[in-house]
Amino acid sequence: MEREPTLSTLDVVVEAVGQETYRYVYDATAHAVRLAGVVSPEEDWPTDLGALPDTLGPDGQPVPVLLLGSHPTFPGCRVAALPIGLLETGAAEERRVWVLAVPAADPARAALATDGGVPSAVRTALESAIRDTLGLAGSGLPRWGDAAGAMALVREARRARRLAAATRSHAAAPQWEVRDRRLRRATPGEAERHTEAEYAVYALPYRFQEYARDCLLPSERLLCYVQRSPVRHRGVWGRLRQPAAHAGLVAVTDQQVLLLADAMPPGHDLIYWGYIARAAAVERLLDAAVRREGQLVWLEIALATSAGPGQFRVEFASEEAAQAEEVAALLRRFSPAVNARRPMRRYPVTPRHEPASVEAFLDADTVAGLEGQLDERLEPGEVVLARAIAPAPTTDAPTQLIAVTPRRLVTIAREPGRRGVLPAEIPLSAVAAVELRNALLAPHFRLWLGGTAAQAPLDVRFPYPVIRPFLTLFLTVRQLLATPPGVPTAPVVLDDTATASAIATSTTSIH
Q: How far apart are CA 95 and CA 106, in angstroms?
A: 31
Strand partners, 288: 301
Q: What is the pLDDT of residue 264?
A: 85
pLDDT (0 to 100) of residue 118: 74
For the cut 70, the answer to whether the pLDDT of residue 57 exceeds it is: yes
Q: Who has greater pLDDT, 455 or 446?
A: 446
Question: Which of 134, 42, 159, 55 is CA-nearest to residue 99?
Answer: 55
**Quick one: average pLDDT of 111-140?**
72
Q: What is the pLDDT of residue 116?
A: 63
185-332 and 348-501, same CATH topology: yes
Which overall architecture, per CATH, does domain 348-501 show?
Roll (2.30)
Is the predicted pLDDT of residue 305 greater than 50, yes or no? yes
The rounded distance, in Å, linking the Cα atoms of 81 and 386 is 45
Please write the tens of the pLDDT for every residue from 267-283: 655 667 899 999 999 98
pTM (two decimals)? 0.63
* Amino acid at the residue 501: S
| C-alpha span between 410 and 504 (Å, rounded) | 14
Looking at residue 43, what is its pLDDT?
Answer: 72
User: With bands split at pLDDT 50, 70 and 90, how would you rate the model's confidence at 209?
Assistant: very high
Mean per-residue pLDDT, 88-112: 84
Residue 108 has pLDDT above 70, yes or no: yes
At residue 221, the pLDDT reads 92
Three-state secondary structure readout of 153-210: HHHHHHHHHHHHHHHHHCCCCCCCCCCCHHHCCCCCCCCCCCCHHHHCHHHCCHHHHH
- Local structure of 336: helix, strand or coil: coil
Q: What is the pLDDT of residues 145-187, one digit of tens each?
A: 888 889 999 999 999 988 887 766 555 678 888 877 666 666 6
Domain ranges of the chain: 10-168, 185-332, 348-501
Exposure of 212 by Cβ count < 10 A (0-12 exposed, 13-18 middle, 19+ buried)?
A: buried
Q: Residue 405: enclosing H or E segment and its boundaries?
A: none
pLDDT at 168: 64
Checking if the pLDDT of 287 tops 70, the result is yes
State pLDDT tens for residues 380-407: 888 999 999 999 877 777 889 999 998 8
Is 258's pLDDT higher than 80? yes
137-141, 287-291, 393-397, 489-493: the lowest-pLDDT one: 489-493
Looking at domain 185-332, its CATH class is mainly beta
Output phi, psi for 339, to 5 deg: -80, 60
Q: Which residues of 183-202 are buried (b: 16+ CB within 10 A; e: fewer)?
A: eeeeeeeeeeebbebbbebe
Residues 482 and 504: their CA atoms lie apart, in Å, by: 7
For residue 436, name the pLDDT band (cuts at 50, 70, 90).
Answer: very high
Please give the pLDDT value at position 442: 87
Residue 499 has pLDDT above 60, yes or no: no
Is the confidence at residue 124, as pLDDT, over 70? yes
- The C-alpha angle 334, 340, 345, rounded to 5 degrees, equals 60
Q: What are phi and psi of 464, to 5 degrees?
A: -60, -35
What's the pLDDT at 179? 76
Q: Over the stretch 217-257, which tens digit does the pLDDT of each residue have?
A: 888 999 999 999 988 765 544 444 555 688 999 999 999 99
CATH superfamily of 10-168: Inorganic pyrophosphatase (3.90.80.10)
Element (H, E) at 268: none
- Residues of the chain above pLDDT 70, percent: 80
> pLDDT tens across 344-371, in order?
566 677 788 778 888 888 888 888 899 9
Burial 39-78 (b: 16+ CB within 10 A, else e): bebeeebbbbbbbbebbbbeeeebbbbbbbbeebbebebe
Pairing, β 63-67 against β 96-103: parallel
Instruction: Decide which of 127 and 346 is more confident.
Output: 127
Q: Coil, helix or strand for 466? A: helix
Q: What pLDDT was estimated at residue 283?
A: 86
pLDDT at 298: 92
User: What pLDDT score was predicted for residue 249?
Assistant: 93
- Give the pLDDT of residue 466: 92
Residue 437: pLDDT above 90?
yes
Query: What pLDDT is recorded for position 251?
Result: 95
Report the candidate in 422, 446, 449 with the shortest Cα–Cα distance to residue 508: 449
- Strand 63-67 vs strand 458-461: parallel, antiparallel, or unpaired? unpaired
